[in-house]
Amino acid sequence: MSTVYDYPLVDWIRWSLHHDSLDSVVASIRRDVPLESRLMESERGSNRAYLEKILREETLKQFGHALRPLVEAALNGVDAKTSGHQGEYRLTLRAKRKLFSSRDEGAGMSLEEVLLFLNIPFNTNKTGDETIGQFGVGAFSLFQYCLALPMKSRVEVATRKGDEELNAAFYATGPSVGELRMRLEYEKKILSKYGLSFSGNGTQVTVRHRLQHSRTEITNYLISQLHSIPSYKAVIEINGTAINEERNALWVTVPVALASERGTLHQEVGLKMPKMREKDVPILEQHYRSSQIFLTSQGVPVQTREGTLPFRVEVAFPPAVKVVEGRDEFKQDNNYEKSAQTVFEALLNYIQIHPSITNGTIVAELIATIAPLISIEKASKIATIERIKKEAFRDREYILDEATIAEFVPFFGTEIFQSNVVPCQTIKTRLFLEDVLKKRDTFLDEVPRVIATYTQPELAAAIHDDGTYYPNLRLLVRETVAHSLQRVHLVEVDPLGEKAVLVVGRKSIQNKELYVNIAHPLVSGPFHPLKAYGIVADYYSLLDARVEAQIESKKHNLLITSLGEAAEDVVYRSLERLLPITRTTTEEIIKMEETK
């Protein structure tokens, strides 16, 4: 039967604080002999009093919620994951009114580590760059339960590392911190005595204490504090149910090398996105709603931004990316910048997993929303932007917002926008991505084939001097005299759009440009009054309501006097069948010409 080592906790702490006494304690326990008698000699009272003061402060004054120590114990289990861990890492919690346990699949602790890191507050074998626990006190924070019910409540820590197995039980003989004790057992197969069955390294912390909360209250509190821990960091299970796994969400992670006080750390940046089926994409793209982008530090929200995506997105930075104390923002250093760039590596991986989103709408909104949130102010500053363009946008060259596309489709048709334009939801997204994609003005310069460009007076003179030069534009030219158009472009657009003309801009026609598709059937060919009427109808349909109201009262006189007496009978016969001039469509005009 192995030796049981049961001493006041303050003695264990003072032995562990000095190399000589620590080495002596470890050697005696491993030889299964009593501790050396010299260790039992009392220390100076001031030293013991100081240690008790630290114990009291850290045990009794650390937390604002009575159940917070349970959360810290769970976070310790998450932190126990080794950097080389392969596959899923699971943290198993049991939560009852009289029993709480947290079992991890981490590194476990050796005898020295139990004495150095379990008993001494804020002492750890990990740097702050590696942990997600907020207080650094771990199992130490659980001792308050022992003091609440002396001799009735216990905190047990069972651990295995390599071929070492041990169990440490903490309890109190009275209500003061000086009466806290640790009972240590060290022998092979000891864990089986406590109903544990580790297949490898790991640690289980058990709290035997009657909490002043119901099982439901305990469970709900734990869920509220732990559900946002990324599942790639640890899958957290409470009473048999995983609380941070989402059936319809996917974490994409990318490793990144970050600097720490101990040298280079290899950690992970995570991007949480929906699992997307191909049939879902059109629905998502057509039903945008306000959503949120969460920027977190290992699951703890730091910043949030409203977005225009139909789903929630979460970015998880690793522990080596520091949060500015007292402020909801990250420290802007090299670790932050490297992690920010790695977010887009994760996005690229997500795109490759979901090739169905490569029409670019969703990706465009993601880039424009996430990048400014992580201090990337230009799309060209994203290191992987060319690879993202190739994967997500394919051969599309232009970026246009939905309002601009709606304005252009009647003139250009739909084909060009389906094959060569990245559509985006907002002007803000368009402006951000114009840094790496061609913008609206370039689209207008490159897509239509320009045949000739005139000022309005120059085009009027050309039509007047040559009666065969696009005669169906005669009425349009007369009507635009007062509208101060900067330029009129005669272009060819193939395939044809519904309308023959495009005015660039909607709010005002002053100093705007007019595009006329000379390949359109309303423009081409000899003069016909209904063609001339149709072009003017297209033109006025592009103007805002203020201009429409101004022309409503004069439309009849305008048509008859401009077209001439020969056309008078044709116009009068057509008026009853035509919609008001500002609402008549080109398609209706063409049909009427065919059936006249």
Q: 506-532, pLDDT tens digit by residue?
A: 444 456 889 999 999 989 998 888 888
Nearest to 170 by CA among 161, 179, 43, 211: 179
pLDDT of the residue at 126: 55
Average pLDDT over residues 186-195: 56
pLDDT of residue 357: 67
For 22, 291, 301, 370, 392, the CA distances from 365, given in Å and listed in that order, are 58, 12, 21, 8, 12
Indicate the CATH number for domain 4-242. 3.30.565.10
pLDDT in tens, 341-387: 999 999 999 998 887 665 688 899 889 989 998 999 999 999 999 99
Q: Report residue 589 as tokens.
A: 């005009």
Average pLDDT over residues 563-569: 43
pLDDT of res. 283: 43
How many other C-beta atoms can be found within 10 angstroms of the C-beta atom of residue 194?
Answer: 13
pLDDT confidence of residue 189: 54
Which of 254-258, 289-293, 296-300 shows the lowest mean pLDDT across its residues? 289-293
Q: Which of 590, 580, 559 shows the shortest CA–CA distance to 474? A: 559
Structure confidence at residue 63 as a pLDDT band (50, 70, 90)? low
Looking at residue 263, what is its pLDDT? 87
CATH 3.30.565.10 spans which residues of the chain? 4-242
Write the pLDDT tens digit of every residue in 419-462: 999 999 888 999 999 999 999 999 999 999 999 999 988 998 99
- 261-283: per-residue pLDDT in tens? 878 988 899 999 888 665 554 44
pLDDT tier for residue 533 given thresholds of 50, 70 and 90: confident
CB atoms near residue 596 (< 10 Å): 10
Dump the DSSP string for 542-561: TS-HHHHHHHHTTHHHHHHH
Give the pLDDT band (50/70/90) at residue 91: very high
Which distant-in-sequence residues (6+ apart) come within 8 Å of 57 by Cβ?
none
Q: Which is nearest to 269 in space by CA: 413, 374, 372, 138?
A: 374
Model pLDDT, residue 454: 93
Please, what sign has the CA dihedral across residues 318, 321, 324, 329? negative
Q: pLDDT > 90: what percent of the chain? A: 39
Distance of CA 146 to the CA centre of its chain: 42
User: What Cα–Cα distance (Å) separates residue 494 from each residue in 266, 307, 444, 516?
Assistant: 54, 36, 14, 13
Q: Of 119-128, 130-139, 484-493, where does mean pLDDT reach its minimum?
A: 130-139
Q: What is the DSSP letter of 115?
A: I
Pairwise pLDDT comparison (138 vs 210), residue with the higher score? 210
Alpha carbon distance, N-terminus to C-terminus of the chain: 112
Q: Kindly state the tokens that stand for 540.
A: 């006025």
Under the banding of pLDDT at 50, 70 and 90, the label for residue 195 is: very low
With H, G, I as helix, E, B as strand and everything else as coil, classify residue 8. strand
Mean pLDDT, the chain, rounded, equals 81
Burial class (CB in 10 A: 0-12, 13-18, 19+), 520: buried
Asked if residue 330 lies in contact with residue 296, where contact means CB atoms within 8 angstroms, the answer is no
pLDDT in tens, 156-190: 999 998 888 999 999 999 999 899 999 999 875 54
Which tokens hold the place of 502? Answer: 């495009």
The 3-state DSSP composition of the chain as helix, strand, coil percent (nearest 5) reads 40, 20, 35
CA 129 to chain centre: 22
Q: Among residues 329, 416, 409, which one has the least CA distance to residue 373?
A: 329
Is the torsion defined by CA of 37, 39, 44, 48 positive or negative?
A: negative
| pLDDT tier at 123, thresholds 50, 70, 90 | low
Which has the closest alpha carbon to 211: 100, 292, 114? 100
